[in-house]
Amino acid sequence: MIPDNTTARLDRQGGDLHADPKGAHLRSDLSARAQWEYNQPEEERDAVADAASRDGAAFSRVARPLGGSAGGRRSDPGAGWRRAGVGLDVIDLGLAGGVGAGYRFSVGSGTAEALVDVYYSPYWETYTEGSNTFNYSTTLIIVGVRANWLFNYPSQSKGLYELVGTGFFVGSYSWENYNITTDYTEGNDYVASGTILNLGLGYAFNRRVEVRAEVPVLVFFGAYGSASAVAIPITASVLFRF
pLDDT band of 17, cuts 50, 70, 90: very low
Write down the pLDDT at residue 60: 41
**Residue 130, pLDDT above cutoff 60:** yes
**Residue 178, pLDDT above cutoff 50:** yes
Instruction: Judge contact between 134 and 177, C-beta under 8 A.
Output: yes
**Cα–Cα distance measured from residue 54 to residue 60, given in angstroms and rounded to the nearest whole number:** 10
Side-chain-side CA neighbours of residue 2 (13 Å): 11
To the nearest 10°, the Cα dihedral for 23, 28, 33, 35?
140
Taken as a whole, the chain contains a residue count of: 242
Write down the pLDDT at residue 12: 41
Q: Give 211-241 pLDDT, tens digit per residue.
A: 999 999 999 886 555 656 888 889 999 999 8
Other CB atoms within a 10 A radius of the CB of residue 78 amount to: 10
Residues in a beta bridge with 140:
121, 173
Q: What is the chain's alpha carbon radius of gyration, rounded to the nearest angstrom? A: 34
Contacts of 150 (CB under 8 A, 6+ apart): 75, 104, 110, 111, 112, 113, 161, 162, 163, 202
**Residue 103, pLDDT above cutoff 90:** yes
Share of the chain above pLDDT 90, in %: 44
Write down the pLDDT at residue 187: 95
Write down the pLDDT at residue 133: 96
pLDDT band of 78, cuts 50, 70, 90: low
Higher pLDDT, 150 or 79: 150
**Cα–Cα distance measured from residue 46 to residue 52, given in angstroms and rounded to the nearest whole number:** 10
**Cα–Cα distance measured from residue 30 to residue 36, given in angstroms and rounded to the nearest whole number:** 10
Average confidence (pLDDT) over 128-137: 95
Average confidence (pLDDT) over 185-210: 93
**Cα–Cα distance measured from residue 176 to residue 92, given in angstroms and rounded to the nearest whole number:** 18
3-class DSSP state of 221: coil
- Mean residue pLDDT of the chain comes to 75
Instruction: Judge contact between 81 and 104, C-beta under 8 A.
Output: yes
Burial class (CB in 10 A: 0-12, 13-18, 19+), 67: exposed
Average confidence (pLDDT) over 93-116: 88
- Alpha carbon distances (Å) from 178 to 130, 174, 189, 190: 15, 13, 15, 18
Write down the pLDDT at residue 45: 54
Write down the pLDDT at residue 156: 75
Element (H, E) at 30: helix 24-39
Q: What is the CATH code for 79-241?
A: 2.40.160.20
Write down the pLDDT at residue 127: 95
Buried/exposed 120-147: b ≥16 CB within 10 Å, e otherwise? ebeeeeeeeeeeeebeeebebbbbbebe
What are the domain boundaries of the chain?
7-63, 79-241
